[in-house]
Amino acid sequence: MIARIEPLTTTRRLNGPFDYLLPEEPVGVGSIVRIPFGHQKLDGVVIELTPHSELEAERLIAPTKVQPDSVPADLVDLALWMAAEYCSTPARALALVTPPPGKAKTYFFAEATGVEARVNERQTALLARLPGPAGDDLAALRRLQKRGLVAISERIARRAPRMNAAPDREVEPTEAQRTALAAIEAAPGEARLLHGVTGSGKTEVYLRAAAEALERGEGVIVLVPEIALTPQTVARFAARFGDTVALLHSALSEGERYDEWRRLRSGEARIAVGPRSAVFAPVDKLGLIVVDEEHDASYKHEGDPRYDARHVAEYRAAYTGARLLLGSATPRPETAYRVKTVRLRERVGGARALPPVRVLDMRGAHHALHPETRRALTSAGKSIVLLNRRGWSNFLSCQSCGKAWECPNCDVALVLHRAGGFLACHHCGHRERIPQRCDHCGSLSVARFGSGTERIEAELQEALDVPVFRLDADTTGTKDAVPELLARFHAASRGVLLGTQMVAKGHDFPDVTLGVVLDADSTLRFPDFRAEERTFALIAQLAGRAGRGPKGGRVLVQTATPDAPAIAHAAAHDADGFLRDELARREALRYPPYADLIRVITSAPAPAPARAAGAVLAETIAANTTDATELLGPAPLFRLRQRERFQIVLKTTERAAAIAATGAAVDAAANDRGFKSVNFAVDVDPV
């Protein structure tokens, strides 16, 4: 037999797989082996065993080593599918499913054998404390082992991540929850959308669906948005299922991550909980994948392959016959369109109905806060204020000559961060000191436009006599910063939680009585077909956070476009109306779900090669697709990180053909010496 091996390397210019002889140790699909490759040695994944090779026998060599951990065979198939689906390479896709680095931590464990012999006092005491870890007594125990009195074995120590299990409440499911569960149970291999407002009992449905899967002997994957922002879901799974739950996320130590992976691989843990990458958890006999907050943008991966965990989950569930359960209060229009929906219409457990939402018209306003917002914030005990823009002001410009401060690496305006005394680029991280005067004309009148979270924080502190807790990427640099800040807000008797969209995510503060959205149309101004969907979700999600306790609450939405459908529907808590209007708009414009989008960005230090590569791609793709695929571009994008960029966009109703044509065109262009300086980034289903 011959092993077909895909070397784990990041270059696009290497086309595997390559044939190797079988090593002495047994291997199968998913084995990870060390292979001599040119002058180097690389790890590779066995993707197939086959009787024949095209190569002559004497040119074939064998791997030098078989690594102790392997990838489940179904995940090898998943990776190969992803490589094609996202126009990436098998090696890059396989890198997502291979075990995390590390190895098991072991210790020595000693037990008395029961053999009787003369021992001294110290040894008697030692034997009396067994069985147990050898610890510092290893040398003494080894002497007793030589005499047959003690058996010593090597055991694996578990490095367990902290999960903060919340107290679990046994509840009797409502009629609606029962109906939802029955609909999920009835359809293995299929997807269901669980559409219900915050507090309608979705998590309870996830927990019960998971329990039923475990009972059938099946494994479960639960995907959540960023763990730091949604600790409650993890805590409730940990509370109900204990050590059966393995937690997978980036803030774990290397040892913890390795051990959690290993516990899933061995079947010791049967439920994997984590953010998007947990969709690759090595869970055997998969019976259920839950995607909580399915509308969340964090499910899209920005590296290569640019996978979408929801799409991967759908494929993996169909492949393994597992149920797929997507939950949200604000589902994406395409999910609502394509997936059978189960509704949870009422809040449960004594929670109040959704709070009333008032839209405040800010046209012609001169202050960041509407008078009514100011009054409400003064009288509310605890409130959440959302402003989807960090920093102090949007941009800085000279009032005399009009110079605007831009990033030297990217063609975008720099954002003022006053407390730190710097201007920052929110794309590449470039920073510079705030200028005292215009370096172009020398004028001292440098003006600031717009306002970000930092500026609103200062305004709130001045206007109100309450503590302000600011939550955004600037105040939460370290990994514990988010939970710490949320805990301080939770403990405070009064205060304002102010921040970017992070404040509208999954946490639960029952005593918050006021939610405020500032500049709600800021997300609508994004030149992006998802602007409506995001704006609706942001307002609806914030409304779901306010007024959960006995005191009830209300929501104020400040906007210059009070009649925009996304804002009006959110204010009326009308998710169905929003989905209906939004789907009609997308159908008219041929956006998803009525067509698929593929974007390719070419970038290079100089504009000419990037543009030329884009043009070649467009030509090749057009020649290999039909009228069902519409091509836009190459169009210039703003320069980013010192690279000039061009983009082409495909709108297609023949997804598979368009992906294949794009993949082939990019592979050919990437191997073209004329485009050596060009990088290619393919994004299928951009978000």
Q: Which residues contact Zn ion (rule: CB under 5 A)?
A: 398, 400-401, 403, 407, 409-410, 425, 427-428, 430, 438, 440-441, 443
Handedness of CA 319, 322, 323, 325 (dihedral sign): negative
* Closer Cβ to Zn ion, 403 or 590, answer by number: 403
* Closer Cβ to Zn ion, 250 or 443, answer by number: 443
CA distance 470 to 375: 20
- Write the CB contacts of 186 (distance below 8 Å, at least 6 apart in sequence): none
Residue of this chain nearest to ligand ADP (CB atom): 349
* Closer Cβ to ligand ADP, 384 or 684, answer by number: 384
CA distance 386 to 467: 16
Phi then psi dihedrals of residue 107, to 5 deg: -150, 165
The option from Zn ion, ligand ADP, none interacting with 2 (CB < 5 to 8 A, set by class) reads none
CA distance 437 to 396: 11
- Give 279's DSSP letter: G
The option from Zn ion, ligand ADP, none interacting with 398 (CB < 5 to 8 A, set by class) reads Zn ion
The option from ligand ADP, Zn ion, none interacting with 427 (CB < 5 to 8 A, set by class) reads Zn ion
* Closer Cβ to ligand ADP, 113 or 179, answer by number: 179
Q: How far is CA 212 from CA 206, 217, 289, 315, 445, in A?
A: 10, 9, 13, 22, 67
Helices 231-241 + 202-215 axis angle, to 10: 40
The option from Zn ion, ligand ADP, none interacting with 7 (CB < 5 to 8 A, set by class) reads none
Minimum separation from the CB atom of position 166 to ligand ADP (A) = 9
Q: How far is CA 27 from CA 8, 22, 57, 149, in A?
A: 17, 7, 19, 39
The option from Zn ion, ligand ADP, none interacting with 401 (CB < 5 to 8 A, set by class) reads Zn ion
* Closer Cβ to ligand ADP, 201 or 275, answer by number: 201
CA distance 348 to 333: 25
Minimum separation from the CB atom of position 416 to Zn ion (A) = 15
Residue ranges binding ligand ADP (CB under 6 A): 169, 171-174, 177, 196, 198-204, 348-349
The identity of residue 500, as a single letter, is T
The option from Zn ion, ligand ADP, none interacting with 428 (CB < 5 to 8 A, set by class) reads Zn ion
* Closer Cβ to Zn ion, 441 or 656, answer by number: 441
Which residue do the tokens 């159908």 mark?
587
The option from ligand ADP, Zn ion, none interacting with 151 (CB < 5 to 8 A, set by class) reads none
| Count of CB atoms situated within 10 Å of the CB of 645 | 24
* Closer Cβ to Zn ion, 1 or 473, answer by number: 473
3-class DSSP state for residue 428? coil
The option from ligand ADP, Zn ion, none interacting with 403 (CB < 5 to 8 A, set by class) reads Zn ion
Handedness of CA 414, 416, 422, 424 (dihedral sign): negative
* Closer Cβ to Zn ion, 400 or 677, answer by number: 400
Task: Tokens for 54, please give them.
Answer: 């095209």
Minimum separation from the CB atom of position 108 to Zn ion (A) = 54
User: CA gyration radius for the chain?
Assistant: 29
